[in-house]
Amino acid sequence: MSEMATLQVQGKTYNLPVVVGTENEVAVDISKLRAESGVITLDDGYSNTGSCRSTITFIDGERGILRYRGIPIEQLAEHSTFLETAWLLIYGELPTAEQLQCWSHRMTQYEMLHEGLYKHYDGFPSQGHPMAILSAMINATSCYNPDVIKMESAETFQSAAARLLSKTRTIAAAAYKTSIGQPLIYPKPEYDYCSNFLHMMFSIPFKEYEPDPDIVNALQLIFVLHADHEQNCSTSTVRMVASSGANLFASCAAGVCALWGPLHGGANAAVIEMLKYIQDSGMSVKEYVAKVKDKTSHIKLMGFGHRVYKNYDPRARIIKAAADRVLNKLQIHDPMLDLARALEEAALSDDYFKEKKLYPNVDFYSGIIMKAIGIPVEMFTVMFAIGRMPGWIANWKEVWEGGARIYRPRQVYVGPTEREYMPIGQRKEMHIPGISGEAAMRGGCQ
């Protein structure tokens, strides 16, 4: 018999089952609370709410632990490849040599886009954000793969997952080429996943890009470290959309949109913009940190802080170590790396950050490496999306296989109580900032 939690509300007592996870996380199961009591819970930003049981990724934010299917991220970063890690996340075990070969073959099999899809790029303006293009083109790809719409079998799922994972890099590289007005480059079957992506990004018709092993390895590391992260904003979005029965492509396209935000996947680009701002302004690290601490500035130290990690993000530690290694290998000296280190040192010795347990997260150093391997800043969040695709696919599969109920949170209504409809002549204008009746009367709404 599991332990029970007791809730007393409005003079009544309710007993609620306690759930304990395999890593001894304790949760109160409130699935039946409203039915039994009419009461719901309220949790701004879901900081205290578990949306599901999951077997994919474990994070211990207090101890800075991250494991994919039980394997520590440090070991995967050192020994694994992106494709192997993707298989682990999606299917739960590391692949055998034969499974990995077949998986790699499927990536090659599905690396091309339907010619009709390539035509879509002619319609995108060069200043179109690659995250908008990525989300749109993932959804558009499902139009050319109707079998993924009606996911009916494990075989269909495996094919759909392989298609999505393989084509995401082709779509992303094509978005970049469109933004710089260069012709789209077709994938090359002899290349591995990361080399092929770099080829499609940087080859031009008369000059083939030669994948540099150090750059390929650095990209591999970036993708492995971004591959999953339990119920973050974008993964929760994928699960939310999946719970309605929406297909894999639609769900992951929604994940791309959620990841775009500067508080989430957009932070890696925001870190570089922040470092550039500090450099251009001539401001000292001390002065910038003071601005961050001044609430009226509304400035955040981008790449710092995390909803779950109240310790160093293990991915940040790995990327920080790799940054030196990669830049030295490529014989690049980037003053931004020195500035990032100085900023980290200043923050970690400042009570504001220590008291709020704000540490570098995955985005603080990742941009330094991506910049060093030639990825343009506007593509940073797209790189995050390519890396996170296996995690999204794994979570979609967990919802699809688990027969999850449709996600439909409740709310606490704090709007107007019942009132009568008012004829237009009796209404008083309510001031809405930026819109006023007079402006509308003058024939042009502000």
- Residues near ligand SDX, by CB under 6 A: 45, 229, 232, 263-264, 267, 292, 300-308, 356, 358, 361-363
Nearer to ligand SDX, 83 or 301 (CB): 301
Q: Identify which of residues 177 and 226 has a Cβ nearer to ligand SDX in the complex.
A: 226
> Phi/psi class of residue 16: alpha, beta or left (left: φ > 0; alpha: ψ in -120 to 50)?
beta
Residue with Cβ nearer ligand SDX (120 or 307): 307
- Name the minimum Å distance from CB 27 to ligand SDX: 18
Q: How far is the CB of 288 from ligand SDX (least distance, A)?
A: 11
Q: What dihedral angle (degrees, nearest 10) is formed by the CA atoms of 42, 44, 48, 49? A: 70
Residue type, 362: V
Q: The tokens of 387 are what?
A: 């890396």
Tell me the closest approach of the beta carbon of residue 261 to ligand SDX, in angstroms. Answer: 8
Decide: helix, strand or coil at residue 394: helix
Concatenated DSSP letters of 331-361? T---HHHHHHHHHHHHHHTSHHHHHTT--B-
Asked if residues 315 and 362 have their Cβ atoms less than 8 Å apart, the reply is yes
Residue nearest ligand SDX (C-beta atom): 305
Do the Cβ atoms of 162 and 100 come closer than 8 Å?
no
- What lies within 8 Å, CB to CB, of 16 at 6+ separation is 4, 5, 6, 7, 28, 29, 30, 32, 33
Q: Which is nearer to ligand SDX, 120 or 264 (CB)?
A: 264
Catalytic residue among 226, 229, 306, 313: 306
The residue written with tokens 């490496």 in the block is 369
Residue closer to ligand SDX, measured from CB, 338 or 352: 352
Residue 283: CB minimum distance to ligand SDX, A: 16
User: For residues 216 and 198, is the Cβ–Cβ distance under 8 A?
Assistant: yes
Q: Residue 129: name the closest of 390, 380, 375 by CA.
A: 380
Please name every residue paired with 204 in a beta bridge, in sequence order, or none if there are none.
Answer: 207
Minimum CB separation from ligand SDX for residue 234, in Å?
Answer: 6
Paired sense of beta strands 71-72 and 12-20, if any: unpaired
Looking at the Cβ atoms of 239 and 306, the one nearer to ligand SDX is 306
363 part of the active site:
yes
Of 195 and 232, which CB lies nearer to ligand SDX in the complex structure?
Answer: 232
Residue 185 Cα distances to 182, 317, 323, angstroms: 9, 35, 29
C-alpha of 315 from chain center? 14
Q: Are 37 and 52 in contact (CB under 8 A)?
A: no
Sheet holding 71-72, edge to edge: 57-60, 65-68, 71-72
Active site residues: 306, 363
